[in-house]
Amino acid sequence: MISVDVISKSYGDVPVLQDIQFNVEKGQTVAILGPSGIGKSTLLRLIAGIDPKFEGTVSRPKNMAIVFQEPTLLLWRSVFENIQLIHPELSTEAVREALSEVGLADKADLFPGQLSLGQQRRLSLARGFAGNPDLLIMDEPFVSLDEKTADEMLTLTERLISKTQPATIFVTHDTTEAARLATQILTLDGQPATLKIKETLK
Amino acid sequence: MSVRAFSLLGLLGFWFLVAWIAADPMVLPMPQELFSPLWAELKSGELLFHLSRTLIRVIWAFTLAMSLGLALGLVMGLFPHVDRWLDPWLVVFLNLPALVLIVLCYLWIGLNETAAIIAVTLNKIPNVTTIIREGARSLDPNLKAMAQVFPMRKQSVLQHVILPQLAPFIAGAARSGIAVIWKIVLVVEFLGRSNGIGFQIHLYFQLFDVRLVLVYALSFITVMLLVEWLILQPWEKRVRRWRTA
């Protein structure tokens, strides 16, 4: 179980986040909604442990995965190595399986720069799920994609989540996206931002 | 390739022209006048002996300066509080004239091989450090976060995340490094060694033999051009493969 308890987070003298408490069980998907600039990504960085400077505690499992807005790939290593180097415990077949899961089976030997943006995003998604994470964190993974690609990505993500069943926390500003993936929606609002609405779906 | 060849031929042509105007082999001999002394030095084994002595010193100093400079630059680029402490040292060493370091090394360590190589290494480290520090400061923070969350092993992060991002900086430091290092090695040999290209140039300078000074200098330039074309450039091409694929 992941439990988040952020008492406060400030940048310098400016408080950004305050009193944010929630838990996520394995198999649950929590969407964090809110207008841009409210501090959603900041909250994710606290949860992921990227930014340790805040007041409060987050208990998180060891086996985590993250999918960023940008694909954030190792552009100097092949598509195959982009999964294998991050998950050295996986066998060659398991890496190929993860690639074919997102439709990149025939691209294994290319460099990420040779892929389209949509394909790079799918590789980033495959990297996230490949290690069967206990906690998956996604930061606006479908932003700035055209409608069709975004929809494909959503369907793919839905399938991968139901297959691996991680605890998922993802950030978005799109209500329909949130409604489609999430079992629970949390809305950030205010200055400093805090949890305003908790709504349980499904 | 053809541009490179023409450019070098142009330089040779310029030499012919100036030698023809000077019309004094004591000042500047014609290029073809170097062949017989070159052959004599090759046959006696003198040239290859001194070339190899210099080359060994260059390799030692280059390896030491690159690895120490890389480590120091990485640490200073990644940890700002270390950088604040070491930066003044870096500025001092960057501005210390090569000659001063060489003389001090010979005075403190003695007229030996260790002093010679340390002097050259110390001259080059600050430069490598400065370039690598710039690279370490420009590392992608998102990749760092990615490597931290998943988490990747430290060894793997260095090898597959950090060093590939530094490759252009390492190549730059290596390129400028090798050129500067062999010039300083020559000064070190000139001042305090009894073999090497610098020693031979010192000898023929005292004998006022321009032909042999040129033979020794040009031989080593040829070696360094080969290193550039056969080692540095192919290596750079290999690590840049992903950009052009």
Statement: B33-240 belongs to CATH 3.20.20.70: no
Taking one residue from A and the other from B, the number of pairs with CB-CB distance under 8 angstroms is 57
What confidence tens digit (pLDDT) does each residue in B21-55 have? 988 888 888 888 889 999 999 999 999 999 999 99
pLDDT of residue B62: 95
What is the tens place of the pLDDT at every residue in A1-53?
A: 788 998 989 898 888 898 989 899 998 999 998 888 888 889 999 999 999 99
Interface of B with A in 153-212 (CB under 8 A): 153, 156, 160-161, 164, 167
Average confidence (pLDDT) over B58-71: 95
Residue A45 neighbours by CB distance under 10 Å: 21
Mutate to test the interface with A, among B139, B149, B155 (most CBs of A within 10 A): B149
Token pair of B99 as six digits: 């000659």
Cβ separation A85–B242 shorter than 8 A: no
Domain definitions of chain B by residue range: 33-240
Q: What is the pLDDT of residues A48-94, one digit of tens each?
A: 999 999 999 999 998 999 999 889 999 999 999 999 999 999 999 99
* Structure confidence at residue A202 as a pLDDT band (50, 70, 90): low
List of chain A residues whose C-beta atoms are within 8 Å of the C-beta of residue B243: 113
Q: Where are the domains of chain A?
A: 1-63+133-202, 74-131
Which ipTM value was assigned to this complex? 0.88
Rounded to two decimals, the pTM is 0.82
B139 touches chain A (CB under 8 A): no
| CATH T-level fold of A1-63+133-202 | Rossmann fold (3.40.50)
pLDDT tier at B242, thresholds 50, 70, 90: confident
Which residues of chain B lie closer than 8 angstroms to A85, CB-CB? Answer: 152, 156, 160
- Chain B residues lying within 8 Å of A111, measured CB to CB: 241-242, 245
> Hey, are the CB atoms on A111 and B245 less than 8 Å from each other?
yes
Interface contact flag, B150 A49, Cβ < 8 Å:
no
CB within 8 Å of B20: residues ≥ 6 apart: B30
